[in-house]
Chains A and B, each alone.
Chain A
Amino acid sequence: EIVLTQSPATLSLSPGERATLSCRASQSVSSYLAWYQQKPGQAPRLLIFDASNRATGIPARFSGSGSETDFTLTISSLEPEDFAIYYCHQRSIWPWTFGQGTKVEIK
């Protein structure tokens, strides 16, 4: 099973600041990686797929990069609605797995 390790566990930032979230895979997943955002009491929402492609309706302040084992989600300037938990997810090798999540909280 591919293990996805996200860091940091918690990111404390202010609105307008840049957020950089990391996801490391235990073996190569090529570019078959996605990022999801989840707010309390809500279902996850797809942000980024294939490592760097924004999903429909996702603002340009969200960007993804990386390949093989190291991936990054960047939020260029945090808006109040961006404070949430972010999960990475690999769709390269069964079983599909998720990272443990990074919580972006208001400082």
Chain B
Amino acid sequence: EVQLVESGGGLVKPGGSLRLSCAASGFTFSSYTMNWVRQAPGKGLEWVSSISSGSSYIYYTDSVKGRIIISRDNAKNSLYLQMNSLRAEDTAVYYCARDQKGTMVADYFDLWGRGTLVTVSS
């Protein structure tokens, strides 16, 4: 079955760190650009970060630059998000999402995981 499964979410204090993982199965993970998209409780969707298939190209939204690192291990079919210096405004469900074509521009999220909740609170 083609799927993405996130893990690693939880409750963390402001300033703390967390590492999210996304396990891919049912498709050739190494061929696809992968992304993290988040959704604060009761709010809309926000793109967080993207990484190309071979990790050559990495992009972040401005609000997380310098605090969050995206990475992948194609041998393990896994995507990661290392989150440091966490703030209350980082509280959200974090979704792992696959790009449809691998072109980055003019590409779209065609496969999503169910998400993992990150809560930043003291």
Contact = CB atoms under 8 A, between A and B. Distances in A.
B44 A99 contact: yes
Contact of A87 (B44, B100, B112): B44
Interface in A83-100: 87, 89, 91-92, 94-100
25 contacts: A32-B106, A36-B45, A43-B112, A43-B114, A43-B115, A44-B95, A45-B112, A46-B109, A46-B110, A49-B100, A55-B110, A87-B44, A87-B45, A89-B45, A89-B108, A91-B107, A91-B108, A92-B105, A94-B59, A96-B47, A97-B47, A98-B47, A99-B44, A101-B44, A101-B45
Helix, strand, loop or mixed for chain A's interface? loop
**Which range contains the number of A residues in contact with the other chain?**
20 to 34
**Which range contains the number of B residues in contact with the other chain?**
20 to 34
Nearest to B93: A43
Nearest to A87: B45
B89 interface: no
Nearest to A38: B45
B120 to A, nearest CB: 21
A34 interface: yes
Interface string B33-72: 0000000000011110010000000010110000000000
A50 interface: yes
Interface of A: 32, 34, 36, 38, 42-46, 49-50, 55-56, 87, 89, 91-92, 94-101
B108 A34 contact: yes
Contacts of A91: 105-108
A56 to B, nearest CB: 8
Given A44-B109, A91-B108, A98-B46, 6 more contacts: A36-B45, A44-B112, A46-B110, A89-B108, A91-B107, A95-B59
